[in-house]
Structure 1
Amino acid sequence: MTEEWQGWREAAETALYGDGGFYRSPVRSPEGPAGHFRTSVHASPLFARAVAGLLARTAEELGLGTVALVDVGAGRGELLTGVLAAVPEGLEVVPYGVEVAARPPGLDPRIVWCAEPPRGVIGLLFANEWLDNVPVDVAEVDGDGVARYVEVRSSEGAERLGAPVGGADAAWLERWWPLSVPGERAEIGLPRDEAWAGAVGSLAAGLAVAVDYAHVRGGRPPFGTLTGFRGGREVRPVPDGSCDLTAHVALDACAAAVDRGAVELTDQRAALGRLGVSGERPPLSLAATDPAAYVRALAAAGEAAELTARGGLGDFGWLLHRVGTSPEHG
C-alpha cells in the first residue's frame, strides 16, 4: 500500500479490489464476506426463498419458463445456492455469479462465474449489499465553507483536506447531498449511480434489485457513514487491505441515474412482506395439535423478525427497476 496521499475512492479501490486486496486475497479473507459481516443472506434461508419467489414472479410476468438470475457481488455464492434450492419445480434458471474474487470450490456447476454482469440477459438481477462496496470519494467542508476532497494515507488511515470538489462531483453534491457547515462530510455517490445504471442496462428485460444500507435526501447523515469491518466487528476504516470498507448508499440518486423502466424505492420490511416473509408468531393452538410444526414455525418467525426488524435489516433500502415488465406485479 502506498504512503502517498490519495482520495478515498482511489485508496479504497486498491485496498478492496487491487492485487492482494481485501476481496481478492484468500489470505486476508479466506471465508469471504461472511467472515467479516452478516448480511440478510447469512441471517436466514428465508431471504433466499423470498428471492426465489421474486424470480418466479419475474418469470411469470415475462411469460418465460427459463429465466436468468444474476447475483451481483456474489461473495461465495451463498445466495445463488439458496435460491437454486428453492425455485419452484418447472422453472429453469440460468444463474450468474458476478464477483471479483475467484470462483469458490464446490459451487454448483450450473453457476456461471464472471467479473461483470452479462449483457442482454432476461430475468432477475439482484445486488445485495454490493453498492455500499463501490468506492467513492469523501468530501468535507473546511473552515471557509468550501467542500474539499478528503485525502487519506493508506498505511494508517490518516486524513487531510485536499482540493476543492469540482466538476461532476460538485454537481452531484449540490443535487443530492448539499454541504455548507464546516465539518460536514458526504460520500460522493456518482460512481455508484454509474455502477447501478450499468447493471440495470445489462438487462434486456426483467427486474433489477439493489438492497443496501441507504439514505435519501432530507435524511443524510451529517458526517457521512464511511467505516470498516473485520472479523464481524466494526473497525476504523483504514485502506490498507486489512478490512472491508463500506458506506451507506444514496439510493434515491441511484434511482434517478436510470432512465428506463419503472422504479420503486421501498424498505426491506415492506418488500419481504409482499414476498410472504412475516415475523408473526404461529398460533398457540398449533403447539397442541402439531408440536413439531409449531417449533418450526416459531423458528421461522424469529428469523423473519430479524430480516424485517426496525432499526436493523428491515430498514435496508430496496431499489427496484423493472425493464419490460408490468409494475403492478411487485
Structure 2
Amino acid sequence: MDAALYGPEGFFRRQRPADHFRTSVHASPLFAGAIATLLGRLDEALERPAGLDLVDVGAGRGELLTGILAALPDDVRRRVRATGVERAPRPGDLPSPIGWTASPPEGTNGLLIATEWLDNVPLDIVELDVNGRIRYLLSDLTLADEPIAQSDRAWLDRWWPLDDAPPGARAEIGTPRDEAWSAAVATVERGLALAVDYGHFAAERPLFGTLTAYRDGRQVEPVADGERDLTAHVALDSLGAPALPQREALRLLGVDGARPPLALASTDPAGYVRALARASAAAELTDPGGLGGHHWVMHWV
C-alpha cells in the first residue's frame, strides 16, 4: 500500500487526486469558508497572535489552503503563516506565500488540519483463515504464513477483536494511523489539531473491512498498481480524541443545507437563486449518507 501510494511510481507521486475522487474540499468553497470561520474563532481564543499558523497535512495541490486564505478577513490573513504538508512536489501554481514541506512543522500556534489524510496512511490488513487463525493479507490477496506481530495483536484485541468472527472476516490494523496522528498533534504547541475523515467506531466495525480504491471518479478494485487511490476507513475511536459528525460541525460554523424561504423568490429572485445554490452545496457537505457522514476528530492543545 505504501509503495502503491507513495513510492517512486506511486499514485500520489504522479496523479492529481481531484481527477480521481471528490472530497469536501473539492465539493464546495463552503467547506474552506467554514474552516476559515473556525480559524477566526481559534484566532480569538489564542488572543490574536502576531503569527497564526495554518498547516494542512495531506495538502494535495493546496486547494484547501488557497480557499481558506481567500475566505479570511484581511486582518487575519495578514498574520497567517500557511503551510502545505505533502510528499508530492510543490505545485507550480501555488501562491508563493504558502509554504510546502514533507512533514508537519514543529511549534504550530493555530490550526493543523488533515482532511482525508489518515485514510491514505498505509496499514496492514488481517483475515481469519478457515482454522480461525489471524493472518496478514498480502497484496496478491493471499494469506501470509507467519503469525502476526504481538503489537498488532494487542491493537486488535483493544480496538477490533475478531474472537467471534467467522472465517474470511477482516480487520485493518490502525496503529500506523494512530501513530501518524499522534506525531502530527505533537507538532501543535497551542491550538487545535483537526482530522476530517470517514471511519467507524468499535460498536460498528465492518465485518470484512473497508479497503477500496478510486480511479477516474469511480470506485474500483483495490489493486496495488500505483494507478489508483487505495483507501480504508479510519478506526476513529483509536485516535484518542473526541469526534463530531461533519454535518453537526459544519452547522455550528454556519453551513446549513436548509432551503431558503420561498417568499425570497418574489422579493429577490437573484438572491433566491444564489441562496438555493448555496443550500444545495451545503446539503452535499452535510448529507449523512455522503460527505456529512465524515467525522471531525478534534485534539485541543
State the TM bucket, normalised to the shorter chain.
over 0.9
Partner of 1:58: 42
What is the CA–CA distance in structure 1 between the aligned matches of 2:290 and 2:45, rounded to whole Å? 31
Aligned to 2:114, which of 117, 127, 130? 127
Give the deviation of 1:162 after TM superposition: 3.4
Alignment match, 1:281: 259
Query: How many residues are matched?
Result: 296
1:164 Cα deviation (Å)? 2.2
Question: What is the deviation of 1:159?
Answer: 2.7
Aligned to 1:292: 270
Shift of 1:173: 0.3
Question: Does structure 1 residue 186 correspond to structure 2 residue 171?
Answer: yes
The aligned amino acid for 1:162 is D
**Residue of structure 1 in register with 2:142 after alignment:** 159
In 2, the alpha carbon distance for the partners of 1:159 and 1:226 equals 15
Tell me which amino acid in the other structure corresponds to 2:123. Answer: V
Per-residue deviation, 1:305: 0.3
Contact 1:150 / 1:162 at 8 angstroms: preserved in 2? no
Residue number in structure 1 paired with 2:13: 24
- Residue 77 (1) aligns with residue 62 (2): yes
The answer on 1:213 being equivalent to 2:198 is yes
Give the corresponding residue for 1:301.
279
User: Match for 1:14: what amino acid?
Assistant: A
Query: 2:178 is paired with a residue of what secondary structure?
Result: helix
1:89 CA drift (Å)? 2.6
Equivalent-residue separation in structure 2 for 1:281 and 1:178 (angstroms): 44
| Kept in 2: contact 1:117–1:202 (CA 8 A) | yes
1:35 to 5, 11, 19: 19
What is the Cα deviation at residue 163 of structure 1? 2.2
CA contact (8 A) 1:16 1:245 kept: yes
1:295-326 CA-partner distances (Å, limit 9, x unpaired):
10000000000000021111111100000xxx
Structure 2 length-normalised TM: 0.96
Q: Counterpart of 2:4?
A: 15
Cα deviation, 1:151-205, whole Å, max 9, x if unaligned, reads: 123xxxx433432222111000000000132111011000000000000001011
Give the CA RMSD over aligned residues: 1.0
> What is the alpha-carbon distance in structure 1 between the residues aligned to residue 262 and residue 282 of structure 2?
18
AA matched with 1:113? W
- Counterpart CA distance in 1 for 2:197 and 2:108 is 23
Check the 8 A contact 1:152/1:160 in 2, yes or no. Answer: no
Q: Which runs of 5+ in 2 are unaligned?
A: none
Counterpart of 1:136, as a letter, is L
**Alignment check: 8 A CA contact 2:24 2:291 kept:** yes
Aligned letter for 2:112? L
Runs of 4+ in 1 over 3 A off after TM superposition: none
Structure 2 counterpart of 1:327 = none
Q: Distance in 2 between matches of 1:168 and 1:202?
A: 25
Which amino acid is 2:180 matched to?
A: A
Say whether 1:97 aligns with 2:84.
Answer: yes
CA contact (8 A) 2:34 2:255 kept: yes
Tell me, in whole angstroms, the C-alpha distance in 2 between the residues paired with 1:266 and 1:68: 23
1:17 Cα deviation from its structure 2 partner: 0.6
Query: Structure 1 stretches of 5 or more lacking a match?
Result: 1-11, 256-262, 324-330
TM superposition shift of 1:289:
1.4
Q: What TM-score do the two structures reach when normalised by structure 1?
A: 0.88
Find the partner of 1:139 among 98, 101, 126: 126
Give yes or no for contact 1:14–1:21 (8 Å, CA) kept in 2.
yes
- Percent identity over the alignment is 58
2:272 matched to 1:268?
Answer: no
Partners of 1:130 and 1:68 lie apart in 2 by: 19
SS of residue paired to 1:272: helix
Kindly state the Cα deviation for residue 148 of structure 1 after the two structures are TM-superposed. 0.9
